[in-house]
Amino acid sequence: MAVCIAVIAKENYPLYIRSVPVQNELKFHYTVHTSLDVVEEKISAVGKAMADQRELYLGLLYPTEDYKVYPSHMIIVYYTPVCMFFILIENILLYRHTRYGYVTNSKVKFVIVADSSNTSLRDNEIRSMFRKLHNSFTDVMCNPFYNPGDTIQSKAFDSMVSAMMVQAS
């Protein structure tokens, strides 16, 4: 169900973004970016330091958001000696994407954008996904060759994320 998974650094730049329907990647980037605002809001709302991992999980960021996906289909091509008309018909598909956030103690944020059109993911599943993400992220951090702030290029991390997205869809 996860269609996009993003890891955002403390300074709010992305360390890792991956989405499954690749053609809409930019839109997912946008979605993740907007959800950062919500994350920040939640973080600041909590106030003092939270040590409990439970609180790292921010839960649903937006109740649901109607997200419009516009694949454009070229259905009719008119060719006249004079000019060509391309008629594009946009199919507006409405996906409801649910965003979930998770913040680590070091203010690294994980955002999962999930497609709620399928069976909605249970909260526990999302939590476990975040936990796995967190663990893989820690593994990446442990690697001395990884400089914090670089984009994450670890194959293990990639495979874990792919597994999560593939399973979901």
Residues that bind other proteins (CB under 8 A): 53-54, 121, 125, 128-129, 131-132, 134-135, 138-139, 142-146, 153-156, 159-160, 163-164, 167-168
Sign of CA dihedral 137, 34, 18, 64: positive
The residue type at 165: M
**CA dist 124 → 11, 96, 133, 154 (Å):** 28, 20, 14, 26
Comparison of 1 and 61: residue with beta carbon closer to other proteins:
1
CB of 143 to other proteins, least distance (A): 5
Q: In which region does residue 83 sit, left (phi positive, over 0), alpha (psi from -120 to 50) or beta (all else)?
A: beta
Comparison of 8 and 129: residue with beta carbon closer to other proteins:
129
CB of 145 to other proteins, least distance (A): 4
Comparison of 81 and 144: residue with beta carbon closer to other proteins:
144
Alpha-carbon gap, residue 76 to 39, rounded angstroms? 44
- In sequence order, which ranges of the chain are alpha helices (DSSP H)? 25-46, 53-56, 123-142, 155-168
Helix or strand run (H / E) with residue 73: strand 72-79
Comparison of 72 and 118: residue with beta carbon closer to other proteins:
118
CB of 91 to other proteins, least distance (A): 30
Comparison of 48 and 155: residue with beta carbon closer to other proteins:
155
Q: What is the DSSP letter of 144?
A: T
The residue type at 35: S
CB of 24 to other proteins, least distance (A): 22
CB of 63 to other proteins, least distance (A): 22
